Structure 1
Amino acid sequence: MKRQKSAAEAAKQGRRIQEEVDAIDATTKAKPKPGKPMQAGEREYPEKFPAQHLEKSGSEKDLKLKPMYEAPGYEGSSKLKDMVALITGGDSGIGRAVAVLYAREGADVAICFLEERGDAEKTKAAVEKEGRKAILIQGDVSSADFCNAAVEKTVAEFGKLDILVNNAAFQEHTSDILDLTDEHFDRTLKTNLYGYFYMARAAVKEMQSGASIIMTGSVTGLEGSKELLDYSMTKGGIHAFTRSLSSQLIPKGIRVNAIAPGPVWTPLNPADRSAEDVTEFGTCAAMGRAAQPEEIAPAFVFMAAPCCSSYITGEILPVIGGYGS
């Protein structure tokens, strides 16, 4: 009897709570509008973007609103002193911002790029402005021969390889799986998965204990995206590759981690979305706006620096602008 009475009282309490909430809902004329996008950095970041569509592979110099990569509030402290990094997709976007901070922390940088030499030259100049050396390596990461050659050139120029950042990516949306052609699917997988594998395989041959590999994953690899079936598939694969390779390389003393960004303002997105869609890019994030590359790059420093992450391997770090809405 006591149990029945207790259950009845709990159910009654539940209904009373429901009635109270229903009464509040009934008197609420309209739900509050979403607040202003969150600004919590050293400087204010764009909340909307110009309507613009870029031809692939997308050039940063052609963007009406340039991505912010300089991170003027970030002060280096020799976390990567005299280390050597190779960054794929290093000519623009996240890759450029990472190159700049790596140089600010004392590393020399090899910058791999596909075709946008003007963007790559600007990244090289930005690295040199930080007082470090940079080289440019042009080619397609979906080629095993290119990846081997890129690592060889880096070691020949700088004498070693301490950090690999697998960052190059291909992204193009489709709304219907029936529109996702074999050619499209193949290009996405070859760039995003084959490229990461080939470059990691080449790099490991040259890496010593204390080195690290950092993969650029994505929130789409965590949550999926109905218009980015192939891209989401590859990013989920990159996360699995990160965890698997990290276990394999523990005996060698090489750490492997991934950063999984949310929406970030880079040439990748205007080269994917329509001009109209681009204006609202990133507003779906909990913070109400897209990130700028300089807001993502410090996470890559953290994962590369032995003084920060010597006990971290096999982790996927989401940098997605918060949770919920």
Structure 2
Amino acid sequence: MPDNGQPQDPTEAHPQPDFPQQEQQHPGWTGPMDPPPDHGEDSYEGHGLLLDRKAVVTGGDSGIGRAVVLAFAREGADVLLTYLPDEKGDAQETCRLVEQAGRRALPVACDIRDEKQCRELIETAVSEFGRIDVLVNNAAYQMSQPDGISAISTEQFDRVVRTNLYGMFWLCKAALPHIPAGGSIINTTSVQAFKPSPHLLDYAMTKGAIVTFTQGLAQMVASDGIRVNAVAPGPVWTPLIPATMPDTTEFGKQSPLGRPAQPAEMAPAYVFLASPNASFITGEIMNATGGTPLP
């Protein structure tokens, strides 16, 4: 929304392609991106929807993760956020935004491909916070392979599956005993789960599995008063794009709105699903695709 509070054309609300061609080494960083991503730094206003909640957000240093962490903090939550060691600078900036909102930030370097690190992460959250009200499984890995399945190495396939699926499984398993009734788990799936791009075959496969996992786990823990949902973003302008895509110039142009989302546009979905306003919503996939119809 613009400063005057009037409705804004969503096709013009944020930068539109063509973007400058840019490349980064994985995992990618926020600073070099052109245009810079919007995480809601100057726009997100909290309303106490998550007052005194304790949250864990994986991949919380940048992109969708940073936007979610910022929004949760402005809604009143304390947040543990994970990052990879190379992303420490981005994680520090995210922590600054949390502390600016008057809440506690707990950054933890963690590679969720490792089961022991996942267990230790949950132990740290419980030790520092006493409980986990919201677990957001957001960290993910992809690598575009325009040459198709023949170019997907076993090493890449293993990294994609262990990051996107194993980590989520281990974290949910470890966290559930510490999530009280009224708590929730929110997983990040993707438009790729329903409309897979051939160059992202392995990534799309894992995102489809996240949909199934979300729906199955939701039924398993409903009687415990715990809700499990997922958000399915379309193209979003994050450091993962210049770090994993060969061409950034037209990224997001294929969406019906003609542009990629900014991370700030994803955060309200996570806030809603974590809040009491979604008390009768579980096992659902919230699509945020910029108009791409999904089943």
The answer to whether the superposition gives a TM-score over 0.5 is yes
1:42 and 1:73 in contact (8 A); partners too: no
Q: Distance in 2 between matches of 1:287 and 1:260?
A: 16
Deviation at 1:249?
0.5
The alpha carbon displacement at 1:178 in A equals: 1.1
5+ long unaligned stretches in structure 2: 1-7
- The correspondence for 2:24, drawn from 51, 54, 60, is 54
Is 1:226 matched with 2:198?
A: yes
Q: 1:144-164 CA distances to partner (integer Å, 9 max, x unpaired)?
A: 111111111111112211000
Mapped to 2, the partners of 1:244 and 1:217 lie a distance apart of 14
C-alpha distance in 2, partners of 1:65/1:77?
A: 29
| SS of corresponding position for 1:245 | helix
Residues of 2 paired with 1:167 and 1:225: CA distance? 20
**Where in structure 2 are the equivalents of 1:289-300 lying within 5 Å?**
289-300=259-270
Aligned counterparts, 1:33-72, within 5 A:
39-40=9-10, 44-70=14-40, 72=42
Tell me if the contact between 1:85 and 1:164 (Cα under 8 Å) persists in the aligned partners: yes
The aligned counterpart of 2:49 is 79
Q: Does 1:199 align with 2:171?
A: yes
Cα shift at 1:139: 1.4
Does the residue aligned with 1:285 lie in a helix, a strand or coil?
Answer: coil
Q: CA deviation at 1:43?
A: 5.0
Given the alignment of the two structures, is residue 242 of structure 1 paired with residue 214 of structure 2, yes or no? Answer: yes
| 1:107 paired residue number | 77
2:91 to 117, 120, 123: 120
Distance in 2 separating the partners of 1:321 and 1:43: 12
Q: Is the 8 A contact 2:118 2:170 kept in 1?
A: yes
1:84-163 matched pairs, under 5 angstroms:
84-115=54-85, 116-163=87-134
Partner of 1:170: 141
> The residue matched to 2:245 in structure 1 has which SS?
coil
Contact kept? 1:142, 1:198, Cα under 8 Å: no
* 1:309 and 2:258 matched: no
Contact (CA 8 Å) 1:60, 1:92: kept in 2 or not? yes
Deviates more, 1:155-164 or 1:209-218: 155-164
Q: Which amino acid aligns with 1:192?
A: N
Seen in structure 2, the aligned counterparts of structure 1 residues 99 and 42 have a Cα distance that, compared at 3 Å, is farther
Larger Rg: 1
Q: Aligned pair in 2 of structure 1 residues 41, 157: CA closer, same or farther (>3 Å)?
A: farther
Tell whether the 8 Å contact from 2:231 to 2:287 is kept in structure 1 after alignment: yes
Asked if 1 retains the 8 angstrom alpha-carbon contact of 2:15 and 2:35, the reply is: no
Moved over 3 A (4+): 41-48, 71-74
Shift of 1:213: 0.3
CA–CA distance in structure 1, aligned partners of residues 155 and 78 of structure 2: 36
TM-score normalised over the length of structure 2: 0.93
Match of 2:252 among 279, 282, 302: 282
Deviation of 1:202 (Å): 1.1
Matched, 1:251 2:223: yes
**Kept after mapping to 1: 8 A contact 2:57/2:138:** yes
1:186 pairs with 2:158: yes
In the alignment, structure 1 segments of 5+ residues that lack a partner are: 1-37
On the 8 A contact 1:247/1:314 being kept in 2, the answer is yes
Report the more deviating stretch, 143-152 or 87-96.
Answer: 143-152
**CA displacement 1:253-287 (0-9 Å, x = unmatched):** 1100000000000011111112xx20110000000
> 2:245 aligns to what?
273
Other structure's SS at 1:280 match: coil
Q: Measure the CA separation in 1 of the matches of 2:36 and 2:12.
A: 18
Amino acid at match of 2:164: N
Distance 1:42 1:287, change over 3 A: closer
SS at match of 1:168: coil
**Aligned-residue CA RMSD (Å):** 1.5
- Aligned pairs, number: 284
The TM-score with structure 1 as length reference comes to 0.84
Q: Which residue of 1 aligns with 2:3?
A: none
Aligned-partner residue type, residue 319 of structure 1: A
Moved more, 54-63 or 110-119: 54-63
Amino acid at match of 1:53: E
Aligned to 1:13: none
1:65 and 1:45 map into 2 onto residues whose CA distance is 7
